[in-house]
């Protein structure tokens, strides 16, 4: 016998059995987000807060969820937004700021900028490989801002530099900010991050081979593009190979180190291509943009209208590109370059150590005992844990009564959350690089200020997601989306694409739609078992939820925040509309390719073998 306080009703506004009105109401929080972000151009944190309020009101008034349960579900989701997600984002940006404050990041930029004078090769080296490293290490718009500024400094026309970096900042985004999007998708969908990473590793390497070719083609002819095919093969192929290995290594008995996928892949691609250019191959002719293009006029930032998103992007770019004064540009040596990269090497070692601890936790089937402290704590959420009964339509036949109740347990992973080893690396780097107390204090203050928008945004998005999950609102939408039937695996990627365009981040899209994707996958698999006969239900859920993230990355190039950062980083404030027009169809095409890959893996043997069990 069940003793649930709240039983989900997927059609609370039923009119003669029709679900149209209930579906529209369930979609209202997302529609409010869309209106405030796109039409009103609010900051994502404020829009997320407004969407959360709407979700709470609808959960209480329309879905008849007790208000204390709705509030508990919001707090539960927001807590996950702070730990491990916000904690990881903060630590990653702190480490980046340490390298900037000590002048080490300037050395890294100089060492990469001098590797080639060919604009096509520079696009691969800086826009793709170094951009992937920056996405993995810091995220938060850093690849577009920093790489765009670097390319402009090397003579690439500002408009082209912005387009290059926006297209390049796609396939690495799933592992951006030390894998925050994947961690977020685990939180919202309930699917293990390790399994999602394997699925990403069976999709993204194809795109990583394609993106450098695609990116270079947008700036020159096919003949000029194919003239550097060896560089494209080495740059894209080395990254794709590393991406596959690190994303899936734990499937072959190694510790889970997928958080390092972008960082390691970017460095490996840079080193591989640099050695290839130095010792094996060089372009027959160094291709540059025509001089008249380099002199193209850009609009003045002062003459453009202001809004919250644009102003925040300008400030974000200023902080990312800010370099300390008074540090001389000494000649580059092997020693100086090695020291410059050492904080990231320390971070990698600390993350590997964290992965070993996680593996020990798995072997122990629970937390480790560390001098009286547990390596993590499970906290049952009051007024919510085992108090919500799933709607009958979502419960497979034969399910035990206790399994019909939703669990609500917050996992306080203080030790192995990626932010903890990264913070340790940042602290060790401060000591190793000889930072003063004033510098340390300044770096912490700067990082806290930089995170005033991203961390609350994730907290609000996950809070909103958990309210819709426990109220049953996302299930209402999931049943509606399932009407697309066997076409849904394609549209799952497009929904993720829409989510990133809407929220500005792959993590935000995963927070918003992760639970919805899992419910829709269940409905589609149940109704089309003959078409998906090669997949189990769990495999279908993993594939569809992962498509939200891998398809979503293609929306990164068209979201308002990315475009504003691109224009600010290349000194083109006011050309947002022109850049959007230049990349929108690239975004749609690449997202459609992800949708097709997902459909193949859903229905067609042997591609179905690529879905982890």
453-502 tens-digit pLDDT: 989 999 999 999 999 999 999 999 998 998 888 999 999 999 999 999 88
Q: Residues 455, 5: contact at Cβ < 8 Å?
A: no
Q: Residue 324 falls within a domain, yes or no?
A: no
Q: Residue 301 falls within a domain, yes or no?
A: no
In total, the chain counts a number of residues equal to 613
Return the closest-CA partner of residue 192 out of 489, 542, 496: 542
Task: Give the chain's domain count.
Answer: 1
Asked whether residue 608 carries a pLDDT value surpassing 70, the answer given is yes
Asked whether residue 503 carries a pLDDT value surpassing 60, the answer given is yes
Asked whether residue 297 carries a pLDDT value surpassing 50, the answer given is no
Tens digits of residue pLDDT in 419-434: 999 999 999 999 999 9
Q: Residues 162, 140: contact at Cβ < 8 Å?
A: no
Q: How far apart are CA 488 and CA 524, in angstroms?
A: 7
What is the pLDDT, as a whole number, of residue 294? 45
Q: Residues 545, 195: contact at Cβ < 8 Å?
A: no
Q: Among 257-261, 398-402, 552-556, where is mean pLDDT lowest?
A: 398-402
What is the pLDDT, as a whole number, of residue 327? 67
Return the closest-CA partner of residue 162 out of 483, 559, 568, 587: 568
Q: Which residues contact 229 (CB under 8 A, 6 or more apart)?
A: none
Q: How far is CA 467 from CA 44, 456, 515, in A?
A: 18, 16, 11
Asked whether residue 303 carries a pLDDT value surpassing 50, the answer given is no
Return the closest-CA partner of residue 563 out of 554, 553, 573: 573
Radius of gyration of the chain (CA): 24
Q: How far apart are CA 73 and CA 323, in angstroms?
A: 42
pLDDT higher at 209 or 4? 209
Tens digits of residue pLDDT in 560-588: 888 888 888 888 877 888 899 999 999 99
Q: Residue 338 falls within a domain, yes or no?
A: yes
Asked whether residue 296 carries a pLDDT value surpassing 70, the answer given is no
Return the closest-CA partner of residue 501 out of 593, 574, 590, 597: 590
Neighbours of 580 (CB within 10 A): 18
Return the closest-CA partner of residue 55 out of 479, 469, 454, 482: 469
Q: What are the two backbone dihedrals, phi and then psi, of residue 412, each rounded to the nearest 5 degrees?
A: -85, 90
pLDDT higher at 142 or 296? 142
Q: How confident is the model at residue 15 (pLDDT cuts 50, 70, 90)?
A: confident
Determine how β-strand 6-7 pairs with β-strand 388-389.
Answer: parallel
H or E element: which one contains 369? Answer: strand 369-370
Q: Residue 286 falls within a domain, yes or no?
A: no
Tens digits of residue pLDDT in 332-362: 899 999 999 999 999 989 988 998 898 898 8
55-77 mean pLDDT: 96
Mean pLDDT of the chain: 89
What is the pLDDT, as a whole number, of residue 298? 44
Tens digits of residue pLDDT in 116-131: 889 999 999 999 999 9
DSSP 435: -
Q: How far is CA 349 from CA 251, 260, 289, 435, in A?
A: 20, 10, 41, 21
Tens digits of residue pLDDT in 256-282: 889 989 999 999 999 999 999 999 999
Asked whether residue 412 carries a pLDDT value surpassing 90, the answer given is yes
Return the closest-CA partner of residue 475 out of 388, 411, 409: 388
- 373: β partners: 370
Peptide bond into 606 cis (omega under 30): yes
Q: How far apart are CA 252 and CA 254, in angstroms?
A: 6
Q: How far apart are CA 25 and CA 22, in angstroms?
A: 5
Q: What is the DSSP string of 173-195?
A: GGGHHHHHHHHHHHHHH---HHH
Q: Which residues of 234-263 are buried (b: 16+ CB within 10 A; e: fewer)?
A: bbbbbbbbbbbbbbbbbeeeebbbbbbbbb
Q: Residue 376 falls within a domain, yes or no?
A: yes
Q: Residue 98 falls within a domain, yes or no?
A: yes
Q: What is the DSSP string of 509-555?
A: HHHHHHHHHHHHHHHHHHHTTTTTTTS-HHHHHHHHHHHHHHHHGGG
What is the pLDDT, as a whole number, of residue 565? 87
Q: Residue 290 falls within a domain, yes or no?
A: no
Return the closest-CA partner of residue 314 out of 146, 566, 501, 106: 566
Q: How far apart are CA 70 and CA 60, in angstroms?
A: 7
Peptide bond into 84 cis (omega under 30): yes
Q: How far apart are CA 592 and CA 495, in angstroms?
A: 11
Domain of residue 194, residue span: 6-279+334-610
């Amino acid at each position: 016998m069940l003793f649930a306080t709240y039983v989900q009703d997927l059609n609370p506004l039923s009119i003669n059995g029709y679900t149209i009105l209930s579906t529209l109401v369930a979609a209202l929080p997302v529609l409010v987000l869309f209106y405030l972000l796109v039409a009103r151009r609010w900051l994502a944190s404020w829009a997320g807060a407004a969407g959360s309020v709407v979700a709470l009101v609808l959960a209480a008034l329309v879905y008849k969820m007790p208000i204390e349960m709705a509030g508990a579900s919001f707090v539960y989701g927001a807590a996950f937004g702070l730990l491990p997600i916000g904690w990881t984002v903060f630590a990653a940006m702190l480490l980046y700021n340490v390298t900037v404050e000590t002048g080490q990041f300037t050395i890294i930029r100089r060492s990469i900028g001098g590797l080639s004078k060919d604009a096509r090769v520079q696009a691969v080296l800086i826009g793709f490989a170094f951009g992937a490293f920056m996405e993995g290490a810091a995220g938060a718009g850093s690849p577009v801002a920093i790489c765009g500024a670097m390319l402009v400094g090397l003579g690439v026309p500002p408009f082209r530099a912005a387009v290059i970096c926006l297209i390049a900042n796609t396939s690495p985004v799933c592992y951006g900010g030390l894998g925050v999007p994947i961690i977020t998708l685990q939180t919202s969908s309930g699917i293990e991050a390790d399994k999602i990473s394997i699925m990403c590793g069976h999709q993204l390497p194809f795109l990583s081979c394609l993106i450098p070719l695609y990116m270079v083609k947008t700036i020159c002819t096919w003949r000029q593009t194919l003239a550097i095919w060896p560089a494209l093969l080495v740059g894209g192929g080395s990254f794709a190979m590393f991406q596959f290995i690190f994303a899936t290594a734990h499937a072959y008995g190694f510790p889970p180190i997928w958080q390092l996928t972008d960082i390691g892949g970017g460095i490996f691609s840079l080193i591989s291509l640099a050695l290839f250019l130095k010792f094996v191959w060089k372009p027959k002719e160094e291709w540059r943009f025509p001089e008249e293009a380099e002199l193209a006029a850009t609009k003045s930032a002062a003459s453009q209208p202001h809004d919250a998103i644009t102003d925040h992007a300008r400030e974000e770019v200023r902080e990312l590109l800010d370099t300390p004064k008074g540090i001389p540009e000494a000649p580059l040596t092997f020693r100086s370059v090695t020291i410059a990269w050492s904080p990231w090497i320390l971070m990698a070692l600390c993350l590997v150590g964290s992965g070993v601890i996680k593996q020990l936790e798995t072997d122990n089937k629970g937390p480790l005992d560390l001098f009286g402290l547990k390596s993590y704590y499970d906290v049952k959420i009051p007024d919510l844990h085992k108090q919500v009964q799933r709607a009958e339509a979502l419960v497979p036949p034969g399910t035990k009564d206790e399994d019909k109740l939703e669990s609500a347990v917050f996992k306080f992973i203080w030790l192995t959350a990626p932010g903890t080893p990264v913070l340790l690396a940042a602290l060790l780097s401060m000591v190793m690089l000889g930072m003063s107390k004033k510098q340390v204090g300044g770096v912490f203050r700067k990082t806290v200020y930089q995170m005033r928008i991203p961390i609350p945004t994730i907290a609000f998005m996950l809070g909103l997601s958990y309210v819709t999950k426990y109220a049953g609102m996302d299930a209402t939408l999931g049943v509606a989306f399932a009407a697309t039937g066997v076409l849904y695996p394609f549209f799952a990627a497009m929904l993720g694409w829409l989510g990133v365009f809407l929220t500005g981040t792959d993590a935000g899209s995963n927070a918003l739609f992760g639970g919805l994707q899992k419910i829709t996958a269940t409905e589609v698999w149940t109704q089309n078992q003959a078409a998906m006969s090669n997949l189990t239900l769990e495999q279908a859920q993993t594939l569809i939820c992962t498509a939200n993230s891998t398809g979503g990355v293609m929306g990164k190039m068209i979201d308002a925040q990315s475009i504003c950062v691109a224009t600010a980083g290349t000194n083109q404030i006011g050309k947002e509309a022109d850049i959007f027009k230049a990349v929108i169809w690239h975004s749609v095409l690449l997202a459609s390719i992800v949708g097709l890959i997902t459909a193949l893996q859903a229905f067609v043997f042997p591609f179905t073998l690529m879905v982890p069990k």
